[in-house]
A and B are shown apart, each in its own frame.
Chain A
Amino acid sequence: MSAALMEQRPQVLSRALEGDSDSFTRLIEPLLDPAYRLAAVMLADRTSAEDAVQEAAVKAWRKLRQFRGDATALRPWFLSIVANECRMLRRGRWWSVLKFPDVRESEPEAPETYTDLRRALLRLSPDERLPLVLHFYLDLPLDEVARTLGVSSSAAKSRIYRAAKRLRSDLTMEEVF
């Protein structure tokens, strides 16, 4: 996010709250890439991920009046909408029932390379992948991970650690945080 936009965000947010769609898109454009990464990993489908991000952006725009907080709270708020949209997309896809066994063949074993790690990642449920992307890939601070997940910081920490342990069983808490 550019420094200029960071400085102007409170004013841009105010204009967006007054119904200015250009201001709203200016605010969320820097979030589209992280939102897409999050959706692509949760859905394991790039096309659906872009659909989810688009739909989440429209919902965020429609629900902007319900947004409580300053401009810094926008990122976890928007990412939580994206995550919810991914869950809804998965529930709505009848073929997800057929796809399910493909990624749940067995418990993950200790992967040696990132290709193994990729397979292990896809064996996790989407809600287990979510904290991993937020913490390791997007580098969100723990409190933002917690707000995105809608849980306490300690619960977020626990979810990150549990999911990471499922990828690599010998990880210690100190190595994760």
Chain B
Amino acid sequence: MSPNDNFKRELNNAIDDVSGAPSSGLRDRVRAAVTEAQPERSTYWIAAVAACVITALIVGILYVNNPFRRPVGVVNPGATPSPSAAPSTQPTPSPSSTPSPTRTYICTADTVDQMNPKASPIAYISAARTGAHPDEGYDRFVIEFANGFPSEFAELTPRDGTSFTETASGQTIKLKGSNGILLRIHGADMHTSYSGQTDWVTGYKTLAQVRVLEDFEGVINIGLGVNGNGPVCYHAEYQPNPARLVVDVQAAT
């Protein structure tokens, strides 16, 4: 028996142990539920009209009530007009777009969906920066890519405490803050087009520290140290123009 067979057998035993067999009533439950449900009709035009109306309403409400609207012609010297490639340690407002009011924060491990155009084979990070948004209830970490989005997924894993393993040295390091998030980006590197800062001690209310833990063979591990006693919740997404990964860490309530 090969090592693979042993591993597979043991793993399948473990999976059997976790899952058990489905109950005898599952088939009937599914059949009954499907019979009751109606298949979706071709109602795309209704959905499209509804989406247009809702969008118009939201845009109108945001236009009237937008707290971020600035008087025309006034230049804010503290704000960067467009996403900058220069890394920063100062708590400056993030140059990215205003977060969607419908955003959802999640507090468990999750992955970020891929986006086009995908870099091939590796997305080169060209800039990284932090930004404080205390009034909006989050702090932000942004990574920009020079040649498109990573072709593989990124994953975020909240964890208790701020101890992370720095892979190259094998040493455990403790970041500032009380809890953390491990951000792992697959299919990217941070040494081809980037030579800036790899450790940010921010002084922000929420995002206390960001530190690159690994940059090896197309996988980047980044530790985020977060202040607050509750669970760490975040919103992460890829955004285009320029291609970037945006991680917003929700302030503790």
Contacts and interface: CB of A to CB of B under 8 A. Distances in A.
B157 A118 contact: no
A54 B15 contact: no
A110 B140 CA distance: 37
Given A91-B106, A100-B158, A151-B153, A54 B18 contact: no
Nearest to B18: A41
Interface stretch (B21-29, B71-79, B197-205): B21-29
A167 to B, nearest CB: 7
Contacts of A174: 4
Given A114-B14, A164-B7, A125 B19 contact: no
B19 A46 contact: yes
A153 interface: no
Given A62-B37, A136-B8, A158-B152, A36 B18 contact: no
A104 B159 contact: yes
A126 B155 CA distance: 12
Given A133-B15, A136-B11, A50 B33 contact: no
Interface stretch (A3-11, A22-30, A69-77, A140-148): A22-30
Nearest to B233: A97
Given A41-B18, A121-B11, A137-B11, A101 B26 contact: no
A63 B39 CA distance: 7
Given A127-B111, A133-B15, A61 B106 contact: no
A167 B11 contact: yes
A127 B31 contact: no
Nearest to B26: A50
B82 interface: no
B250 interface: no
Nearest to B13: A114
Contacts of B18: 40-41, 44, 118, 121-122
Tell me the dominant secondary structure on chain A's binding face: helix
Interface string B16-58: 0111111100110111011101111010000000000000000
A127 B109 contact: yes
B235 to A, nearest CB: 12
Contacts of A64: 39-40
Nearest to A36: B22
B3 A175 contact: yes
Interface string A20-51: 01001100110011001100110010100110
B231 interface: yes
A112 to B, nearest CB: 9
A32 B30 contact: yes
A19 B40 CA distance: 10
B10 interface: yes
B153 A117 contact: no
Interface of B: 2-4, 7-8, 10-15, 17-23, 26-27, 29-31, 33-35, 37-40, 42, 106-111, 114, 151-153, 155, 157-160, 165, 186, 231
Given A57-B33, A111-B10, A125-B155, 5 more contacts: A36-B19, A57-B34, A64-B40, A121-B15, A137-B15
